[in-house]
Amino acid sequence: MIETFLSRKTVASPEDIGLQMELWAYVVAKHYGISLKEVHEMTPETFQQSLTWALVGRNQEEKEMKRQRQQANSGGQETVTLDYSWLEMEDF
């Protein structure tokens, strides 16, 4: 059941909402090194803020790992990353 949920890109059933919440609780617990019980005891506001920072931290870690892989694959040559996030700005 969990593998099926993780393989989907969209919410397909009401049970998926519960599984998504549990997944987010796991992400927060893992990021902060706390128990799921402690995550479930958080206020909704604290949980939302903690989840936001955990996801941002996870994203930054993935970017750094990607950069390190590219650097290792380039044979020691310097790699330059390009940031196109400005294209997503509303004022553009």
Q: What is the pLDDT along the chain (92 residues), one digit of tens a residue?
A: 677 777 777 777 888 888 889 999 999 999 999 999 999 999 999 999 999 999 999 999 998 998 888 878 877 676 677 788 878 777 65
Phi then psi for residue 74, to 5 deg, are -85, 5
Phi then psi for residue 16, to 5 deg, are -65, -30
**pLDDT at residue 72, rounded to an integer:** 81
Q: How far is CA 40 from the centre of its chain?
A: 19
Indicate the pTM of the whole model: 0.65
Count Cβ neighbours within 10 Å for each residue of 43-75 and write b for 16 or more, e otherwise: eeeebeebbeebeeeeeeeeeeeeeeeeeeeee
Question: What whole-number distance in Å separates Cα of residue 62 and Cα of residue 86?
Answer: 20
